[in-house]
Amino acid sequence: MSAELSARMQGMAKTMIRRIKDLADPSSIDLGLGELQFPTPRSVIDHVRDKLGSWRLGYTPNEGLPELRSLIAARSGHGVPPEGVCVTLGAEEALMDVLMVLVGPGDEVLVPDPGYPAYPSLVRLAGGEPRPYPLAASAGFRLRAEDVLGRVTGKTRAVIINSPNNPTGAVYSGAELEALAAGLAGLPLTVVSDEAYADIVFEGPAVSVGPLLRNCVTIGSLSKSFSMAGWRVGWCVGPADVVKAVGVFHQLAVTCPPAVCQHAAIHALSGFADDDKARYLEELSKRRDFALDCLAAHTGLSCVSPAGTFYVFVDISPARAALGTSEAVALRLLAEERVVTIPGSAFGRLGEGYLRLSFAPEPGLIEEGIKRIGRFLA
């Protein structure tokens, strides 16, 4: 007889991203990757190898090593002290922790549509109700302040924004973020700004809403910027009272991130891996352009050129009448062409009719995967 699950887990499942990837075999071309394929920077590996024997690798302070918290605070540009930083197991734990301490039964949280699929699930785990706001294709999937402000009610406890955006690659303008901050200032809610892709931008730096608002928590990590996803180092930066509560929940959930990973993060954030990060960004820019050229040459499908991240959100709506939903297309591409793609419906109602493709793989795999998509749609 199996145990009865709690009410909070009823209807919960892995995100569609993971469900699709779980169906793929190793021979598939994976254009669903949410992970860079570059190695951990050599300087970080060498530093860990050389210093491992000299570090104390026991428990660290729950909120993270003081040196790491200081580095994150200084690099954030938000003017917060180290006490305004909690180091977590990646950005996703930071998101969960923040929502768990901010949101309760009856609270509403505004989430982007299209947006990262975990947002609604994390809100529900915290007891709240996710309420989508649109990122319209006609606006290049960029945030429009009025689309958020017009959905704020007395029940709104938090607003999640994500720039650069997963899955669309859109980077929000400073003017819209300033308008959003002005409209939300003084309201009894918190903005949660997911900035995991902040360093992967191709057309100028991404603007952070964090310095514009007192009641804002920003989320970051090493996973994307330094290709260190497996090291599982993320963080949140924000008001001291919120971060203190996050630290309590974080301590009860995971105690602390592994000490060795925190030492690796200190080295990376001290500037020793910046050359690697710059090379990775340069190569991603080339792969973005290459992927766009391949889409034009082999499929004729349209998309908005991504200003950030390593995803392109491809419009497959012309094929929907014959092939069905984006999920049906993704499943058939996997079964018939052995190409992993992520259906746009995984990211919300407005994602239907799109596929998210990653240009993180090497160019040869990008081209072959896109050729197979074109063959399937022909």
User: Does pLDDT of 79 surpass 90?
Assistant: no
* Coil/strand/helix, residue 108: strand
pLDDT in the model for residue 19: 86
Question: Which is it for the CA torsion 362, 364, 368, 373, positive or negative?
Answer: positive
Which tens digit of pLDDT belongs to each residue from 235-286?
999 999 999 999 999 999 999 999 999 999 999 999 999 999 999 999 999 9
Per-residue b or e along 68-93, where b marks 16 or more CB atoms closer than 10 Å to that residue's CB: bbbbbbeebebebebebbbbbbbbbb
**Can you give the residue ranges of every domain in the chain?**
7-40+275-377, 42-272
Q: How close are the terminal C-alpha atoms of the chain, in Å?
A: 50
* Measured distance CA(55)–CA(32) in Å, rounded: 37
- Percent share of the chain, pLDDT over 90: 87
**Phi-psi category of 79—alpha, beta or left, where left has phi over 0 and alpha has psi -120 to 50?**
left
184-209 average pLDDT score? 95
DSSP state of 362: -
Q: In the prediction, which pLDDT does 22 show? A: 86
Assign residue 141 a region: left if phi > 0, alpha if psi is -120 to 50, beta otherwise?
A: left
* 3-class secondary-structure state, position 162: strand
Q: Does domain 42-272 have CATH number 3.40.50.2300?
A: no
For the stretch 45-64, pLDDT in tens is 999 999 999 999 999 999 99
Amino acid 10 reads Q
Give me the pLDDT at residue 2, please.
67
What is the band of 1 on the pLDDT scale with cuts at 50, 70, 90? low
Query: Is the pLDDT reported for residue 307 higher than 70?
Result: yes
* pTM, entire model: 0.95
The CATH number assigned to the domain with range 7-40+275-377 reads 3.90.1150.10
Are 170 and 141 contacting, i.e. CB atoms less than 8 angstroms apart? yes
Look at residue 298 and tell me whether its pLDDT is greater than 70.
yes
What number is the average pLDDT over the span 81-89?
97
In the predicted structure, residue 325 carries a pLDDT above the cut 80: yes
- Average pLDDT value over all residues in the chain: 95
Of 74-78, 111-115, 360-364, 369-373, the range with the lowest mean pLDDT is 74-78
Cα-based angle 55, 38, 43 (whole degrees, multiple of 5): 35
CA–CA distance, 39 with 205 (Å, rounded to integer):
24
**In this structure, are residues 223 and 91 in contact, taking their beta carbons and an 8 Å threshold?**
yes
Q: What is the pLDDT of residue 73?
A: 96
